[in-house]
Each structure stands twice: as C-alpha cells, then as structure tokens.
Structure 1
C-alpha cells in the first residue's frame, strides 16, 4: 500500500493490511455503543480508514429450483432463510484517527 506523503497512519495502515480477510475487533474513541468496539472481517484498508464487514449477508438461494420445486427438495427443507428472511450485510468504515485499540488473534 502506498500513501502520498508521510503521516502517522501509514504504520497502522500497513499493519492492518496484513489482516485483510481476518476477524478482528477495533475499539474506537467514542461514546455509547460505538465505544464498545466493532468486530468483523477486514475487507479493505486505505490511507484513511479500515473497512470491516460486521455482518455478512445470507448465501444465495438454491439456483436449481425454488422452495416449491421438486428438484432438490431436501436442500430447501434445511433452508432456514425462508423462515427468517434475508439478512443484508453490514459494512463499517473506521477512520484511523478514531481507533483506540486494535485486537486480533495471536496466531
């Protein structure tokens, strides 16, 4: 990753970039619920912020047939999404200057 000019975020950005695809928790300098931290998978890192996927969306539906199709009926019987609706994903962008702590697995 290359950032124009030097700023204090370069070292943090380079470190966080090593965790793309990994689950981490980032605590922020803020109050209320946002100060309790954000846990998610690091999706992207740039010179200004880190992007986390904090809630993943549901998997695609059965491409072979719908819930009333005679094909692959057993697959649809285990499809809990019909009862609970579809979950859309959630993405969180956290500016580096708002990060208080970054937590990740040791291994």
Structure 2
C-alpha cells in the first residue's frame, strides 16, 4: 500500500474525526447525483456513518421587532412579514460507501 493510504475503515474514521467542524466534500461509491459528492460541515463521525450539515437553518427571529415592525415590512412586504424559515439539512453517509474525502490543506 502507498504511503498515507487508508488500509481500513478505522484509519478513514480517524482521519475524518480530525476535520469535524470544517467544510469538506465526500464522494461516494454511487451513481447519479449522489456520485457527484456531498459538501458540508462535518458534524459527526462514528464507525458506521459520518454526518454532514449540508444546509443550515434560518437564524432566530428578531426578538425586538414584532411582525408589524418597519424592519419586517421593509424586508418582506410581499408575504405579509412571513419570513422564509428553513430547518436545514443533514446527510448521513455510510463509511464503507466513501470513495474520496476532500478537505482544505491548511
């Protein structure tokens, strides 16, 4: 095996753990859109799965300005001050389906 290569899933898991909290791209052994890779913040790793936060949820609402505040009216006049909230998304990737793992060098 070449120097620096992974000779077991445990070595890959150990390496992934060093990048928790950083943005990474993981390519999987699959076809279609999923084979194009998943980019997100590495949130957690265990021996079976790694977890990426691929889309973050909305920030909390402004506790000072109510629904009739001028800020709300100016920002969202078309939807009667209903903010476009999102809950985000998480991607769980099986360790044994990882084909490549990309991260920043520094």
TM-score with structure 2 length normalisation? 0.80
**Partner of residue 102, structure 2:** 103
Instruction: Indicate whether 1:89 and 2:88 are aligned.
Output: yes
For 1:59 and 1:18, locate their aligned partners in 2 and report how far apart those are by CA, in whole Å: 27
Residue by residue over 1:16-75, the C-alpha shift from the partner in whole angstroms, topping out at 9 and shown as x without a partner, is 001111000000000100000000000000111110000011110101232314xxx45x
Structure 1's 23 and 65: CA in aligned 2 closer, same or farther, altered over 3 A? same
Structure 1 stretches lacking a partner, 5+ long: 1-6
For 2:104 and 2:66, locate their aligned partners in 1 and report how far apart those are by CA, in whole Å: 40
For 2:67 and 2:82, locate their aligned partners in 1 and report how far apart those are by CA, in whole Å: 12
Equivalenced residue count is 97
Offset of residue 84 of structure 1: 6.2
Preserved contact between residue 9 and residue 48 of structure 1 (Cα < 8 Å):
no
TM-score with structure 1 length normalisation? 0.79
For 2:66 and 2:83, locate their aligned partners in 1 and report how far apart those are by CA, in whole Å: 16
Residue by residue over 1:61-107, the C-alpha shift from the partner in whole angstroms, topping out at 9 and shown as x without a partner, is 101232314xxx45x4457xx57611221000001111000000000
